[in-house]
Amino acid sequence: MLEFGLEPSVFIILCSVALVAGFIDAIAGGGGLLTVPALLSAGLPPHLALGTNKLAASFGSCAAAITFYKKRLFNPKFWWRSFIFTAIGAICGTLVVNVISTAWLDKLLPVIIIFTAIYSIFSKTQEHTGETLPDDNPALHKKQGLQGCIIGFYDGVAGPGTGAFWTVSTMALYKLNILFASGVAKAMNFTSNFTSLLTFIYLGHINWYLGLSMGLCIMVGAIAGAHTAIHFGAKFIRPLFITVVIIIACKLAYQAWLQ
pLDDT number for residue 16 = 95
- Tens of pLDDT, residue by residue over 35-77, are 988 998 888 988 899 999 999 999 888 988 898 898 888 899 9
The alpha carbon dihedral of 196, 197, 199, 200 has a sign of positive
CA angle, 65 then 66 then 69, to 5°: 85
SS3 (DSSP) at 243: helix
pLDDT above 90 for 212: yes
CA dihedral 145, 147, 150, 155 (to 10 degrees): -110
- Tens of pLDDT, residue by residue over 232-252, are 765 655 565 566 666 666 766
Q: Which of 69-73, 129-133, 177-181, 232-236 has the lowest mean pLDDT?
A: 232-236
pLDDT number for residue 2 = 41
- Tens of pLDDT, residue by residue over 72-97, are 888 999 999 999 999 999 999 999 98
254 phi, psi to nearest 5 deg: -60, -45
Closest CA to 179 of 188, 171, 189: 171
Which residue type, as a one-letter code, is found at position 216? L
The CA distances from residue 216 to 136, 211, 248, in Å, are 37, 9, 23
Q: What is d(CA 229, CA 26) in angstroms, rounded to the nearest whole number?
A: 7
pLDDT number for residue 235 = 61
pLDDT-derived band at 28, boundaries 50, 70, 90: low
